[in-house]
Structure 1
Amino acid sequence: MTEQPASTSASYAEAGVDTAAGDLAVDLMKSAVSRTHGPNVLGGVGGFAGLFDVSFLKLFDRPLLATSTDGVGTKVAIAQAIDKHDTIGQDLVGMVVDDIVVVGAKPLFMTDYIACGKVVPSRIADIVAGIARACEETGTALVGGETAEHPGLLGPDDYDVAGAAVGAVEANAVLGAELVQDGDVVIALASSGLHSNGFSLVRHILAKNSIGFTDHSDAFGGTVGEALLEPTRLYTTPLLRVLSEPSLAGAIHSLSHVTGGGIAANLARVLPVGSWVEVDRASWSPSPVFRILSDLAGSSLESSEGTWNLGIGMFAVVAAPAADRVIAAIEQDGIPAWSVGTVSTSTRDLTGFEQGAKGVDGGAVRLVGSYAN
């Protein structure tokens, strides 16, 4: 009898890919993923494609789909260094889904992608469980994903995560710079910490000071890595509540998610050309983590305004008569919010202002004054 060649799976195992580990990872994450599924999700977990029933869009006058994709950058290096993987998924959802709500859309579903050097089922399950929890919190169905093992390209403990989401909004409810008017109030929504931007700088600062992620630090209030892994605050559900509140209909004109590029650049993207805002630093005190890192770097907080959020995770540009009510509604969800400036369309010298960003010809923004202690 002729000897049969080795099976494809055996050859793959010799190459460093463990399909059995991948199957176990799926089994471990199934329950967490299933909890994000409502009646609109068809087919459950494990299909080649996720199915989502959008029949409800027939009720829209002009439905628009909104989509976003992102990752969490080098924050994953800290999760890997301290072997803590149950929060990085929330960071991913925050980076993706909170971009969807910026245009006024309700997120519908999300997919994720994890590339790793070696599938460790419990690690993958922790990552996906974090994604699923955040999807539940934001009302987003996690309808699919992929875990890809890349031996030889990534180390055994290395991984990266990315995701994409889709939302829907009525065309006449889209938020944007074109709605912003002279006299609108700019409201800041507090961040929970660094969120998922500027970690290359964080890692550089710690390395220069010979500080390890597993080191205990009184300044950080515990292990350095755990403090830095504080998950990204999620803004979608509170903002959707405000947007759907009849008494606040039309109050929010634009939203800005403060991510890569920092404070001024992200706000400038959602202001109309010809408008400007001076953001008053004295209206808030940056979180301790930013002060600690700035002190370690021997630099000022101001020098990192284009890299870190410094305590502001989202901006809402709001009609002035409704500003106090919008702040109160946001704070009911446990998110500190406050006024940082006023939009103006008057003519002035814009030297020193950040004007537009990421290909957007927006308004002009600069930060003024000194931070509160």
Structure 2
Amino acid sequence: MNSPSNSSLSYRDAGVDIDAGEALVDAIKPFAKRTMREGVLAGIGGFGALFEISKKYREPVLVAGTDGVGTKLRLAFNLNRHDTVGTDLVAMSVNDILVQGAEPLFFLDYFACGKLDVKTATDVIKGVAAGCEQAGCALIGGETAEMPGMYPDGEYDLAGFAVGAVEKSKIINGSTIMPGDVVLGLASSGAHSNGYSLIRKIIDVANPDLAADFHGKPLADVLMMPTRIYVKPLLALMNSMEVKGMAHITGGGLLDNVPRILQKNLTAVLHKDAWAIPPLFTWLQQHGNVTDSEMYRVFNCGIGMAVIVSRDNADAALAQLQAAGETVYRLGEIRERQGDEAQTLVL
């Protein structure tokens, strides 16, 4: 094949370093290995990952979820901190499939960049593996894409998906929720991975020193705190009693996520004095002059997961979750909806 150029071009000349990609795979294999669990037949390195569903399920239903990290990545770039966003990535998917009663089985990630920096990518994938360990699911595959010209230097994008399984008869869909049931709230670890476009806008306006102390930690640490993963304590709770419904408090906050598990004739009444709003959200509200309703719709405001159980089980559920290390609040209760009122009221 003749070339009009006097020199031979390589993929590296075009901006893609195959050797760097191979170095990344070698670097992350030990971390992926720590996430292995029963059912993994083939993991990192193959064209496809193989997973066998456990025989403990009589009628297994697969539940899948996918997500990214959003504009929290922009803050990670600005701070040059890449060790926690991978855990955010896992959390957003595994917490989502958990609310339908599913046990997360495996996770795959997609890391895309303009030029692959092996150290940065390794930090990110280490965070993914840490999240998988917390969720008890296996990191069995993924994709690293080096695409020159697509991303500015030092930037990347992340996406991933989780697959879980639930016994068909144990799918949680909120259909048994009724007036009188109790809404419990599990504390968040911070803003998790939602509302960061507004957070960054508030930072631009307030111009704080991100290295300064903020209630015992640098403000940057508080802002980058990874999303809490609720899988293990809530799977244990489901094994010990009926959990009628769960809502992962993500985009849309408390106001938009709790109604996703309620029938149209029900309303969740949450009492604002039932839990303490963490200092981060108070700071954001003050410096951004954000209304209460906007706060409850954009941020989790300190509640990362809502759990609905019967009144008879509420005390036992709260005690079990506390014993498992969760901070739990009795947020409110379910009642009949009145007219066309909102399905989540914070009073």
Q: TM-score range by the shorter chain?
A: over 0.9
Separation of aligned partners in 1, 2:227 and 2:133: 15
Secondary structure of the equivalent of 1:196? coil
The yes-or-no answer on 1:62 pairing with 2:59 is yes
Secondary structure of the equivalent of 1:225? helix
Separation of aligned partners in 2, 1:14 and 1:259: 42
Instruction: Kindly indicate whether the alpha-carbon contact (under 8 Å) linking 1:290 and 1:301 is maintained by their aligned counterparts in 2.
Output: no
Give the AA of the match of 2:30: S
Secondary structure of the equivalent of 2:16? coil
Give the AA of the match of 1:210: N
Counterpart for residue 366 of structure 1: 345
Instruction: Kindly indicate whether the alpha-carbon contact (under 8 Å) linking 2:43 and 2:139 is maintained by their aligned counterparts in 1.
Output: no
Counterpart for residue 115 of structure 2: 118
Secondary structure of the equivalent of 2:214? coil
User: How far 1:225 moved relative to its partner?
Assistant: 2.5
> How many residue pairs are counted as aligned between the two chains?
346
Separation of aligned partners in 1, 2:315 and 2:93: 28
Secondary structure of the equivalent of 1:243? helix
The yes-or-no answer on 1:101 pairing with 2:98 is yes
Give the AA of the match of 1:17: V
Identity rate of aligned residues, in percent?
38
What CA deviation, in whole Å up to 9, does each residue of 1:167-200 have, x standing for no partner? 1111110111212122110111110100000000
Q: What aligned pairs does 1:299-310 form with structure 2 within 5 A after superposition?
A: 299-310=290-301
296, 317, 331: which one pairs with 1:326? 317
Counterpart for residue 37 of structure 1: 36
280, 286, 294: which one pairs with 1:289? 280
User: How far 1:76 moved relative to its partner?
Assistant: 0.9
Distance change in 2, residues 1:265/1:7 (3 Å): farther
Separation of aligned partners in 2, 1:192 and 1:367: 21
What CA deviation, in whole Å up to 9, does each residue of 1:39-62 have, x standing for no partner? 4212342111111122x24x4332
Separation of aligned partners in 1, 2:338 and 2:228: 36
Secondary structure of the equivalent of 1:179? coil
**Stretches of 4+ moved more than 4 A in 1?**
5-8
Separation of aligned partners in 2, 1:193 and 1:224: 11
User: How far 1:23 moved relative to its partner?
Assistant: 0.8
Secondary structure of the equivalent of 2:261? coil
Distance change in 2, residues 1:227/1:338 (3 Å): closer
Separation of aligned partners in 1, 2:319 and 2:57: 30
Secondary structure of the equivalent of 2:30? helix
Secondary structure of the equivalent of 1:97? helix
345, 348, 361: which one pairs with 2:338? 348
Counterpart for residue 278 of structure 1: 269
Secondary structure of the equivalent of 1:299? coil
User: How far 1:207 moved relative to its partner?
Assistant: 0.8
Give the AA of the match of 2:271: D
Give the AA of the match of 2:262: L
User: How far 1:220 moved relative to its partner?
Assistant: 5.9
Distance change in 2, residues 1:216/1:168 (3 Å): same
Counterpart for residue 168 of structure 2: 171
Counterpart for residue 197 of structure 1: 194
What CA deviation, in whole Å up to 9, does each residue of 1:201-252 have, x standing for no partner? 000111122346xx3223364543322101111101110011112xx2x2x1
Unaligned runs of at least 5 residues, structure 2: none
Instruction: Kindly indicate whether the alpha-carbon contact (under 8 Å) linking 1:220 and 1:227 is maintained by their aligned counterparts in 2.
Output: no
User: How far 1:134 moved relative to its partner?
Assistant: 1.3
User: How far 1:312 moved relative to its partner?
Assistant: 0.4
Counterpart for residue 184 of structure 1: 181
Secondary structure of the equivalent of 1:22? helix
Give the AA of the match of 1:87: T
TM-score of the superposed pair, with normalisation by structure 2: 0.94
223, 227, 238: which one pairs with 2:222? 227
Distance change in 2, residues 1:220/1:26 (3 Å): farther
What CA deviation, in whole Å up to 9, does each residue of 1:49-100 have, x standing for no partner? 111122x24x433211100000110111111111111111111111010111
Instruction: Kindly indicate whether the alpha-carbon contact (under 8 Å) linking 1:109 and 1:166 is maintained by their aligned counterparts in 2.
Output: yes
The 10-residue stretch of structure 1 (40-49 or 28-37) with the greater mean CA deviation from structure 2: 40-49
Separation of aligned partners in 2, 1:200 and 1:41: 38
Instruction: Kindly indicate whether the alpha-carbon contact (under 8 Å) linking 2:269 and 2:335 is maintained by their aligned counterparts in 1.
Output: no
Secondary structure of the equivalent of 2:306? strand
Separation of aligned partners in 1, 2:223 and 2:292: 17
Secondary structure of the equivalent of 2:265? coil
Instruction: Kindly indicate whether the alpha-carbon contact (under 8 Å) linking 1:219 and 1:292 is maintained by their aligned counterparts in 2.
Output: no
Superposition RMSD in Å: 2.0
What CA deviation, in whole Å up to 9, does each residue of 1:312-349 have, x standing for no partner? 0000110110001001111112111121111112x624
Separation of aligned partners in 2, 1:278 and 1:104: 24
Instruction: Kindly indicate whether the alpha-carbon contact (under 8 Å) linking 2:42 and 2:140 is maintained by their aligned counterparts in 1.
Output: no
Secondary structure of the equivalent of 1:47? coil
Instruction: Kindly indicate whether the alpha-carbon contact (under 8 Å) linking 1:291 and 1:301 is maintained by their aligned counterparts in 2.
Output: no
Secondary structure of the equivalent of 1:278? strand
Unaligned runs of at least 5 residues, structure 1: 354-363, 369-373
The 10-residue stretch of structure 1 (40-49 or 171-180) with the greater mean CA deviation from structure 2: 40-49
The 10-residue stretch of structure 1 (111-120 or 32-41) with the greater mean CA deviation from structure 2: 32-41
Give the AA of the match of 2:72: K
Counterpart for residue 359 of structure 1: none
237, 243, 259: which one pairs with 1:242? 237
Instruction: Kindly indicate whether the alpha-carbon contact (under 8 Å) linking 2:37 and 2:137 is maintained by their aligned counterparts in 1.
Output: no
